[in-house]
Chain A
Amino acid sequence: MRRRGFLAAAVSAPLVALAGCGGGDPEVKNGVVTLRFQSLAYQKTTVAAVKKIVADWNKANPKIQIAYQQGNWDGVHDQLVTQFSGGTAPTIIHDEAADIAGFAEQGFLADLGPHLSADVTGNVPKGIMDTVSSGGHTYAAPTLLQSYVVFANVDLLRKQGVAVPSGASLTWDALAAAAKQATKNGVFGLGWGLKQPTATVMSLALNFGGKFFGGTGHEATISVGDAEKQVPRRIHDMAYLDKSISPVTLTQSGTDILPGFYAGKYAMIVAGSYVAQQITEEAPKTFNWKVLPALSGTSTAQAANPQTLSVSATSKHVTEATQFIDFFMQAHNLAAVGQGDWLIPTTAPARAAIQQATGGKSGWTETLAGAGGLTKAPFQSVTNYPRWKDEVATPAFQKYLADKLSLDQLATQLADGWKTANQ
């Protein structure tokens, strides 16, 4: 749950100046610069990895100390809205690209472009750097991200007489065919947790070049044409024509469907790549699973929404903070954090380090390969997208996936709803 405090942000704008009125430099004491770093690391292994990075840095840099501060994902947006307004935001901020775009637009984040090393910017694909760039400025370093992948119960697929898909990519037609073939004897070919369908649809729409939005900011326009209809139509067809998707799963969250997957109710599921961790930890030892090749339509493109490290614009030590971010982004550090969270590092050397450390097991080879298709989606440049997503798109997609709307009605609701949401 994440409430967007637009109103609060609007109220806060005049307060930003006030926040900067304090005297002295609170980040410097006895010649030592101390920078607060709020990390949202969640898994025990990731917390340990991040703390080790901080400890390593502090040991090597006695004059620039990083103070680790544990935050959490729940409510971080509203927390930052308030802290930016009050001038007490941490110096180094961990968040996700979609969430900090508004902060960057309001000038709360420093431009890291002149400070980030070429090692970092050169190792992150342009499509991913674009998610944290605007108007020629780079307001964050992208660290880790996820993609949507297909997990298969290998033994069950074979039992249902379906060859386990392989190759460089898996077309939507091939997925539908495999799901249909696997649907028999009380088993569904596919389970898909689409309780909150918008993020999934908007991301996978890029498989078919579906953009939904043109333009940026408040001037963005919407278009729901054939390309944009492909993903919802295909999911709907599998659920209601082929009956190869379990309709119950369409109302569940991405991780709610895992017990049914382990129990053999669905031969395949579509979920975030990070789900591999839960499968590894929870599934019965005999559960034989794998990650299938990346889904593809006309391409394997998906929207990238990386986790990010950014720096508060009020800090007088952007250079020092960025030096730490550079250190954080070094391959072995980023690989340790990514491996702990089962998320894909944004830099090629860190991905190579994970591949080497894991031997590509537990789906890592396919998951890491999927990073190649991740890029900035048009909706990530649209100011009122979050409002449209919550108020218009999610209920409309939910109704369509519940078979209560036609595809044309869905398109109309999405387009008409944008006029209201973008007022």
Chain B
Amino acid sequence: MNRTPVAGRIGQYVALAAYVVFLVFPLLWLLSVSLKSPADLATLPAQLLPRGLFFGNYQEIASKQGLLESAWNSTLVAVGTMLLTIAVSLPAAYALGRFRTFLGPAATIWILVSQVFPVILIAIPLFMIVRGLGLLNTLPGLILVYLVWTLPFALWMLRGYVSALPVDLEEAAACDGASRPRILVSVVLPLLRPGIIATAMFAFISSWNEFFFALVLLKGDTTTLPIALAQFVGSEGKVAFGPLAAASVLATLPSLVIFAIVQRRLTSGLLAGAVKG
């Protein structure tokens, strides 16, 4: 059995720690900026840590009307989009990955083509459709648009995962007498779990961060967090860095919590797939 020398192991940990610091640094910087006073922010050279803890930025965003409502709206929209995207893309991806028909390549090309349209080009038709459905200024309307927006790429991602699954497993289950629904639920779905989770994360992040559609489809008290954050950016490039950082810290928390929960399942799913494969 090979053993990693102690020096090598230490080197691995150091490299890993450096990588973690590299990844975490923007978040730490954001947190630090959110706790700096305007005078502290204007000091040169910029310091990593604030000279004193200044909670004025958090007080300011707390007094900003609608920020918490916007965060709640964003959560509803992101979770709704995530669930709908998976519900729609999963069976479609399975069909595309497993069944060889003349429609498969055509659908694949269409998926790729749909990704090259500029947002502004499809914004107006989508706007008209949403308005026609009476869903303007509603969260379901925005979820519908995000579903349309994320579906092609989600489908593309999941199709890759489906194609990577050995078809032998399904055939073996069929030989053992399992019905097709049973094969899908008991064999395919568990193996696809990492792919489903990765796709769900993609859908969640896409809709959580999206700005433009929310800007044109929502107004007033139905707005989402990216729009609320944009209120800290004024004309002529003026930016209220302190409050913006404080609001961004709060905006990041839900994503972090969801990632923390999902990450563990993503890893276990991968391992489960490896064992069965």
Residues of B within 8 A of A8 (CB): 120-121, 123-124
Asked whether, in the complex, the Cβ of B43 is within 8 Å of the Cβ of A259, the reply is yes
Is B107 an interface residue when CB atoms closer than 8 A count as contact? no
Is A316 an interface residue when CB atoms closer than 8 A count as contact? no
Bits for B224-238, please: 1 = Cβ < 8 Å to A, else 0: 000100110111111
The CA of A307 and the CA of B211, in the complex, are separated in Å by 24
**Interface CB pairs A-B, < 8 A, 30:** A3-B120, A5-B120, A5-B123, A7-B121, A8-B121, A8-B123, A11-B121, A15-B124, A15-B128, A42-B235, A44-B60, A69-B220, A70-B66, A75-B211, A75-B215, A78-B212, A81-B120, A82-B124, A85-B127, A88-B136, A96-B235, A254-B237, A259-B43, A262-B43, A262-B44, A274-B238, A282-B38, A282-B39, A282-B42, A341-B234
B43, B121, B128, B239 — most chain A CB neighbours (10 Å): B128
Asked whether, in the complex, the Cβ of B124 is within 8 Å of the Cβ of A74, the reply is no
Bits for B253-276, please: 1 = Cβ < 8 Å to A, else 0: 000000000000000000000000
Given contacts A7-B118, A75-B215, A75-B230, contact A85 B124 (CB under 8 A): yes
Number of interface residues of B (CB under 8 A): 34
The CA of A73 and the CA of B230, in the complex, are separated in Å by 8
Residues of B within 8 A of A81 (CB): 120, 123-124
B124, B136, B233 — most chain A CB neighbours (10 Å): B124
Asked whether, in the complex, the Cβ of B124 is within 8 Å of the Cβ of A11, the reply is yes
Is B216 an interface residue when CB atoms closer than 8 A count as contact? yes
Give the 6 A-B CB pairs with smallest separation, nearest first.
Answer: A42-B234, A282-B42, A74-B230, A82-B216, A263-B44, A72-B230
Is B180 an interface residue when CB atoms closer than 8 A count as contact? no
Bits for A248-265, please: 1 = Cβ < 8 Å to B, else 0: 000001110011101101
Is A86 an interface residue when CB atoms closer than 8 A count as contact? yes
Asked whether, in the complex, the Cβ of B215 is within 8 Å of the Cβ of A79, the reply is yes
Residues of B within 8 A of A86 (CB): 124, 127-128, 131, 136
Asked whether, in the complex, the Cβ of B128 is within 8 Å of the Cβ of A83, the reply is no
Given contacts A11-B124, A82-B127, A284-B39, contact A255 B237 (CB under 8 A): yes
Q: Which of A72, A78, A278 contacts B120 (CB 8 A)?
A: A78
Q: Which residue of chain A has the shortest Cβ distance to B66 in the bound complex?
A: A70
Asked whether, in the complex, the Cβ of A253 is within 8 Å of the Cβ of B44, the reply is no
Asked whether, in the complex, the Cβ of B238 is within 8 Å of the Cβ of A255, the reply is yes
The CA of A79 and the CA of B118, in the complex, are separated in Å by 15
The CA of A72 and the CA of B230, in the complex, are separated in Å by 6
Given A69-B219, A282-B39, 12 other A-B residues pairs in contact with their CB atoms under 8 A? A8-B123, A11-B121, A18-B128, A40-B235, A42-B235, A72-B227, A73-B233, A79-B216, A85-B127, A255-B239, A260-B44, A278-B238
Is B41 an interface residue when CB atoms closer than 8 A count as contact? yes
Is A322 an interface residue when CB atoms closer than 8 A count as contact? no
Is A12 an interface residue when CB atoms closer than 8 A count as contact? yes
The CA of A42 and the CA of B231, in the complex, are separated in Å by 7
Is A113 an interface residue when CB atoms closer than 8 A count as contact? no
A-facing residues in B36-76 (Cβ within 8 Å): 38-39, 41-44, 46, 60, 66
The CA of A383 and the CA of B127, in the complex, are separated in Å by 26
Residues of A within 8 A of B123 (CB): 5, 8, 78, 81-82
Q: Which of B42, B127, B236 contacts A146 (CB 8 A)?
A: B236
The CA of A282 and the CA of B66, in the complex, are separated in Å by 27
Q: Which residue of chain B has the shortest Cβ distance to A5 in the bound complex?
A: B120
Q: Which of B66, B220, B227, B238 contacts A42 (CB 8 A)?
A: B238
The CA of A82 and the CA of B233, in the complex, are separated in Å by 21
Asked whether, in the complex, the Cβ of B216 is within 8 Å of the Cβ of A73, the reply is no
**A195 to chain B: closest CB distance in Å?**
9
The CA of A259 and the CA of B45, in the complex, are separated in Å by 8
The CA of A265 and the CA of B45, in the complex, are separated in Å by 11
Residues of A within 8 A of B44 (CB): 259-260, 262-263, 265
Asked whether, in the complex, the Cβ of A281 is within 8 Å of the Cβ of B121, the reply is no
The CA of A263 and the CA of B46, in the complex, are separated in Å by 11
Residues of B within 8 A of A83 (CB): 216
Q: Which residue of chain A has the shortest Cβ distance to B211 in the bound complex?
A: A75
Residues of B within 8 A of A278 (CB): 42, 238
Residues of B within 8 A of A15 (CB): 124, 128
Asked whether, in the complex, the Cβ of A283 is within 8 Å of the Cβ of B42, the reply is yes
Is A43 an interface residue when CB atoms closer than 8 A count as contact? yes
Residues of A within 8 A of B234 (CB): 42-43, 73, 341
Asked whether, in the complex, the Cβ of B42 is within 8 Å of the Cβ of A262, the reply is yes
The CA of A344 and the CA of B190, in the complex, are separated in Å by 64
B-facing residues in A232-279 (Cβ within 8 Å): 253-255, 258-260, 262-263, 265, 272, 274, 278
B-facing residues in A161-196 (Cβ within 8 Å): none
Q: Which residue of chain A has the shortest Cβ distance to B131 in the bound complex?
A: A86
Asked whether, in the complex, the Cβ of A75 is within 8 Å of the Cβ of B120, the reply is no
Asked whether, in the complex, the Cβ of B120 is within 8 Å of the Cβ of A70, the reply is no
The CA of A263 and the CA of B60, in the complex, are separated in Å by 27
**B248 to chain A: closest CB distance in Å?**
14
Q: Which of A96, A253, A263 contacts B237 (CB 8 A)?
A: A253
Residues of A within 8 A of B38 (CB): 281-282
Residues of A within 8 A of B238 (CB): 42, 255, 274, 278
Q: Which residue of chain B has the shortest Cβ distance to A44 in the bound complex?
A: B60
**A213 to chain B: closest CB distance in Å?**
23
Residues of B within 8 A of A96 (CB): 235
Residues of B within 8 A of A72 (CB): 227, 230-231, 233
Residues of A within 8 A of B124 (CB): 8, 11-12, 15, 81-82, 85-86
Q: Which residue of chain B has the shortest Cβ distance to A263 in the bound complex?
A: B44
Residues of B within 8 A of A282 (CB): 38-39, 41-42
Q: Which residue of chain A has the shortest Cβ distance to B128 in the bound complex?
A: A86
**B221 to chain A: closest CB distance in Å?**
10
Residues of A within 8 A of B41 (CB): 282
B-facing residues in A71-102 (Cβ within 8 Å): 72-75, 78-79, 81-83, 85-86, 88, 96
